[in-house]
Structure formats: structure tokens, C-alpha cells
Amino acid sequence: MSSPFKQEFTCNQYVLSLKEFYEQYQPEVLLDLNPITQRPPIYLAVDNKKSIGIISSFLSGLSLGLITIVKNEKGDIVSITDSFDTESLDGGHRKRAVHGFINNLFPVFGLYFNHEELPSFTKEQRDYFWNRKFCLDVYEPMTNYKKGQVFRTINGTMQAPNHQEILNSFGDVPIANSIRETVREVLENNHKLFDLTDANNPKWIDPQNTRLALEEFVARIYYRYYQNGYLGSRKDSQLMTMYSDEAIKVNSLKEKVDNHLQFLLKSAKVRKQKSKTGKLGKRELNTLSNLYHYLNEKLGKWTLRSNAEETFYTNFQYVFNDFCLDPNKKYSEVFVSEFETAEVTIKQAFKDYTYCNDSYEKQEQLIKWIVQHPEMHLNRSIIALDLQRCFSKEVREGTLALQRYTCAADELPLSLDEAEAAHDVAYILGGSSKDPLNCAMVRKIHNQKMGTMTISQYKELLQSKVA
């Protein structure tokens, strides 16, 4: 019977046995079990826990549920799956579990499906498995956008995908591909920050890509560079806008994101060096990422000083834990702010803001707490490369002359070759590089040690050490 409505999709529905399905579609020969629109294979996990759960439930009499695939029309749809006749559209975990079990990748109830050397199912048990039936929907060829539309519709009515899984359903589009390839080691082009050990555990960081959590993390970084590279909100709705932008220049964004992730990797390596089992956790990753965006915003071009990775991260880790643990009860007072409606201590606000994605004010406050901390010493580890952020030659030379060629910090004789221009109010805290009154010429060693202290604060510190 023809439909009286406009048909955007064509779907044929079948009830068939596992053996009929396997013989007709020959998974990984005719059916792509791992299209980029779906999460990575679950049977790569060490314990195969989810795959075993799927098969054991199916063998115990539970339904396998509706499986959805889509035909590929070679020469018409440009996709990395063109070598397959069909691809998985929904139910990829279940299909991969079935395929893995049939190919003896893991045992269920202590038995393999049909292993030559290890304990396996009897013929009666195999026949029962093969003859179990399930429902299969087969869609006619469609564009990547429509594949995503079907996925989102199915999961919107049958289960609850998270936001990144919905974004992942955009399919074979440049921004989605770039984010997947950055994280997934199985795609052989991932960033080293996301490398796995031989046991398939993250090597440098604690979070795993469960339900695409790491791809969400990278997508939010991409969005900030999609805007300007600076600190700011990166809400779910904003990510959707980026994924939908057909004119997005992914390659230029990828270079910036790779540099961003390399900065995180350097910190992760220091953490690993200090503690063999130590890895960067989610809150540290978010906070370091926010700090990187903040430095972009305040310093323009900048870099870590040579061999300063250890100095930077150990200082950061000290500050981070000083706030989170607050051993000396310095941050137990109530944090008063126009963007805080509930009563909260500075310690709790700091910890809450390490997870923040939607408020520029909270992210900015988090980083200001860090850079203003007396133990952060950013000048010891970071160099600003953007000369527009520095004092002009005229201001530097004129200020030194007005100081009668003495250091503003130790008041000893100082030549121009030995001097650096320090901000009385640190640039990273909003101090001007155009106001001569904010300039003080000091010995290089003092400029490195000052951090975000004012000249008067630093002089007091020097004098107390002499006393």
C-alpha cells in the first residue's frame, strides 16, 4: 500500500534468526560494524563486560531489541564506508557483541562459541543461539545528515543518548571526523594525550572515552577555537551550531587544538614522572585547559620557557591542591559574587568551577584564583611572545633613565642589557602595557620571581629576606 504522505525515508522490516542475519550480511565483510557515527567497539575492552552482558541476557531469553542498518549506494554517497554494502545505524554494540562471540573473542558462562582448543558450547547450545530471532530494520541509502536524523529520532524515543552521542551521529563530516580521530587510538591518528596502554587503559589521563566523554572534552576545546581561542562558554547548543556549520575550516582549528592538547600532554608527563601511577584527572584537565585559553586571551602568543614544564606543572599542582584540600583553612570563608546566588565557600566554588562549561565569569574567576596565588609564579615558566603585549622600547629606556639606572626592586645599579620591563600590575591581571606608570625596570631574575606581585609587594619580600 502506497503512503498518502511524503516519504523521506524507505525502511524494510524483517524478523529473522541470527544465523540468517549473519549469513545474509556477513558482518565486517558486507556490513560495517564500526561506522564513525557510532561509539568505538566495546569488545576492545579488557574484560568484555558489556559484550558478555549482552550475549548472556540474549541466551537467557531476553530480546536482542531492534537492530537498524542502512544500505550504502556506491558511487552516490561519499563515505569511508563505501566498501561495505550496508552499515550499522543503531544497535552497534549489540551487533559487535554477537560478532565477537561468534568469532570466539570472549567466553560467555565460561564457554566460547566454537573454539578448537578451549571449552565451548555444545551443538545444541549453538543451534539455540543461531535460531534466536530478532527484529531488523533496513533503510535504503540516505545522506549522512539523514542517517544522523534517523539515529537521533530512534534514540530520542527509545533510549536517552547523551549530547555528544547525538553530535557523533552527524556522521562523515570534517569536524566530527577530526574530533573522533583526535581521541580514538583505533583510528591511528589520535593525539598522544589519548594514547592507551597495552591493556587498553588511558596512559596519561584518568578519564576514558566512555559514552564519548573525551570526544566531548575535545569538542568543547574545538568550539573555543571556532570562536577565538579565548576563555568562554561552550554549551551543548553552541557545539551543535559548530557541528552544523558546513563552512567550518577544520584544518586551521585542528592545528590550534593539537597545540592546546600538547600543552596538556606536557603536564600529564610531569605528573607521570612524579608518580608512576599518577594521571591527570577530569578536573585538572578542565582547569589546565581553561588556563590555556586564558593565557591566549591575556598574552596573545606565548610559550613555556625552555625546560619549564616541570616548574609550571608542579606550581600548578600545588595551587590546585591548596584550594581543593585547603589544609590551612584559608578558603573556608563565604565567596561573595554577583554570579553566585547560593552561599558557598571559596574552596567549594573553586571545585565547582573546575567543571564549569557555560559561564565565562566562573571560568575567569577560577583562573584568577590560580594566577594570583603566590606560589603560581607564572613568570618563571611562561614567556609572552606577542610584542604588542609588552612595553615599547621608548617606555623601557625612558623608565630606566627615570630610575637613574637602578633596579626598581633591589635599588642597585642596572644597565639596559641586564634589565627587563616588569608590570607593576601584572598584565595577566589586567595591567596596562601602554601606561608608563605601570612599568618598572628590574633585573631579569626579579622579573621571573615577581609573578603577579606588585613592585612594592616584591620589595617587601626582598627586604624581609635580608632582615
User: What integer pLDDT is reported at residue 153 of this predicted model?
Assistant: 80
The closest alpha carbon to 182, from 195, 169, 171, 172, belongs to 195
User: What integer pLDDT is reported at residue 124 of this predicted model?
Assistant: 93
Q: Which residues contact 291 (CB under 8 A, 6 or more apart)?
A: 316, 367, 370, 371
Tell me if the pTM is above 0.75.
Answer: no
Q: How far apart are CA 72 and CA 165, in angstroms?
A: 22
User: What integer pLDDT is reported at residue 23 of this predicted model?
Assistant: 85
User: What integer pLDDT is reported at residue 83 of this predicted model?
Assistant: 61
User: What integer pLDDT is reported at residue 75 of this predicted model?
Assistant: 40
User: What integer pLDDT is reported at residue 131 of this predicted model?
Assistant: 92
Cβ atoms 62, 5 nearer than 8 A = no
User: What number of other Cβ atoms are within 10 A of residue 328's Cβ?
Assistant: 8
Q: How far apart are CA 103 and CA 22, in angstroms?
A: 12
Q: What are the φ/ψ torsions at residue 7 (nearest 5 degrees)?
A: -95, 110
User: What integer pLDDT is reported at residue 380 of this predicted model?
Assistant: 83
**Positions in the chain whose pLDDT score sits under 50:** 42-46, 75-82
**CATH class of segment(s) 390-466:** mainly alpha
User: What integer pLDDT is reported at residue 432 of this predicted model?
Assistant: 82
Q: Where in the chain is the domain with CATH 1.10.30.50?
A: 390-466
Q: Which residues pair with 383 in a beta bridge?
A: 303
Q: How far apart are CA 172 and CA 156, in angstroms?
A: 21
